[in-house]
Structure formats: C-alpha cells, structure tokens
Amino acid sequence: MSESESDNNSDSSPESYTELQADQFQRTMPVLEITDMDRSIKFYRDSLGFDGTMWGEPVNFAIMQRGTVTLALDLSQQASSANNQYWASYIYVKDVDLLYEEYQALGVTIQRPIEDTHYGCRDFDVMDPDGYLLAFGQVLGTCDTPPGLSPDGGRDELTKRTKTDDQH
C-alpha cells in the first residue's frame, strides 16, 4: 500500500482515537502565577498541608502536592494578581468535612463555609495569598459520573453531532 493510500484510509476523526487515547489523560495540574514565592510556599505547606519541590535560585517555580493533587506555583515576572473569574482549582477530596475541620483548627481563613450545593457536591472555598480561590469538595450521594467528568471520556454531544453532521 502506498503512503497516499495509507493516508486516505486512515480515519483521523476524534471518534477514531477516543477509545485508544482517552485513558492517556491521567490528571491535571493547575499552574498559578504568584507574586511572592516564600509566602505562597508557606501558605500551601503550613496552612493547607501540601509538601513541595522547588526549582531555581532563588526559587521561582514549585510543585506543591498533597495526596495525588498537585498545584504548580510560578513566580510572576511582573507584579500581577490572580486573574480567574471564580475558582482557580476545584480539588476533590475523600472527606470534605474532615478537611474543613482540619483547616479551621489550623486557622485557615475560609472564604465560603462548607455547604451542600445544587451541583451535587459538598464543598467550601479558601483563598490563597495571591487571590486564587480554591474549592475543596466531594460528590454527594452515589453518582456514576462525578461533576466535571463524562462517561465518554470527554467526548461531548457537540463532538458527536459534528461527527454525524460531517457524514451527511
């Protein structure tokens, strides 16, 4: 088979690789642009219980981790502040009530108290020193697919409609 025949026979549509590549995505790591590295590392380590690995002399990048959750801190090249409409990150946890109690005992300022929400989670918000709002929550009840996840591995209705429309 010639190279051009091979190219003509290959299906490069999103549906053709969904099953093969959907599990390639493992997790995400938000990168937060911060203005004071020492202050931010101290907040994430001492207030929120994350450990970290730092790079640079002086430190200009850090990855903070607690369990399997990671947040990167990237020192801003200019004095800027957080620029997100609402949450910079939503962090799913096993026991949100226990974490809420831990943070209260540590004196962490809670931006929004813990509550059951209309979107099926129980959560609360904390703001970091640079103004990033972090939500910590867990899914309520039994749910086959937690909020933010699709049983199709991210292949939404628009993608399916576009594929169908392309065939007509």
How do the pLDDT tens digits run along the chain, 168 residues long?
A: 555 544 454 555 555 545 556 666 667 899 999 999 999 999 999 999 999 999 999 999 999 999 999 999 999 888 766 666 789 999 999 999 999 999 999 999 999 999 999 888 999 999 999 999 999 999 888 666 666 666 665 555 555 544 455 555
Distance in Å from the first CA to the final CA of the chain:
28
Distance CA 23, CA 48 (A): 30
**Is residue 104 in some structural domain?**
yes
Q: Tally the domains of the chain.
A: 1
**Is residue 138 in some structural domain?**
yes
**Residue 157 sits in which domain range?**
28-166
Q: What's the CA dihedral at 59, 111, 146, 140 to 10 degrees?
A: 140
Cα–Cα separations (whole angstroms), residue 20 to 11, 35, 151, 153, 155: 13, 41, 15, 11, 13
**Is residue 135 in some structural domain?**
yes
Say what the pTM is.
0.71
Q: Assign residue 144 the CATH number of its domain.
A: 3.10.180.10
Counting runs of H as helices and runs of E as strands, what totals does the chain give? 5, 8
**Is residue 118 in some structural domain?**
yes
